[in-house]
Amino acid sequence: MLAFARCRLDSSKYDKKNYPFDVKTWKEWGLDAKQSASDYASKEGSFPMHDLCLVGVVSLNDPPRPKVDLSVNKCRSAGIKVIMVTGDQPPTAAAIAHKVNIIKHPKKEWNYMVNELGMAEDVALKECTAIVIHGDLLAKKHLEEEHLDDEDPLKGAYLQEWINKHEVVFARTTPS
């Protein structure tokens, strides 16, 4: 979903040709709900981020390419394990993975078993057939093991355990 808002700007101050709209650091001055636009109006490049008028919302749908589900099934029948890597949020990634046959049984996915069924993480990890890993968790685990020698058998054990699941999705990943 995208939300659209409107704010009428004073053209004498916000000349679109000469005003240096700062779209890179707006989070430093535009997120505090207790502020008003006058609190940061003197910051160079700032523009009002408060008292906006909602004008509408738009729903976006980016469906998988046609026949991806068939391709996944062909890979599986050839003995190839398909692992999905995406920048999408975990729930979105899980839904798409289910739609294209990467996750066949969403109720046997680790996050579902922990968050919806209330299972302990270690129990769910033993019983799940699918797992959706958030990129932040992957990065955290990697940092925790950074000090280990590359020959240490414990290094990367978490990753090995994850990818040993039948159905694997990495969500909210970054190129790094």
Q: In the chain, where are the structural domains located?
A: 2-58, 68-171
Please choose, from the candidates 85, 97, 104, 95, the residue with its C-alpha nearest in 3D space to the C-alpha of residue 163.
85
| Residues of the chain below pLDDT 50 | none
Q: Return d(Cα 44, Cα 5) in angstroms, integer.
A: 22
pLDDT for the residue numbered 73: 96
Give 43-84 pLDDT, tens digit per residue: 888 888 888 899 999 998 888 999 999 999 999 999 999 999
CA geometry: angle 84, 88, 94, nearest 5 deg: 55
Structure tokens at 57: 């919302």
Where would I find the H helices in 8-163?
A: 26-30, 37-40, 68-77, 90-99, 110-115, 121-127, 135-144, 157-163
User: If you search the block for the tokens 């430093």, which residue do you land on?
Assistant: 28
pLDDT for the residue numbered 32: 79
pLDDT for the residue numbered 1: 87
pLDDT for the residue numbered 52: 86
Q: Which residues 6+ apart lie within 8 Å of 129 measured at CB?
A: 104, 105, 108, 109, 165, 166, 167
pLDDT for the residue numbered 30: 72
Q: Which residues 6+ apart lie within 8 Å of 56 measured at CB?
A: 3, 4
pTM above 0.75, yes or no: no
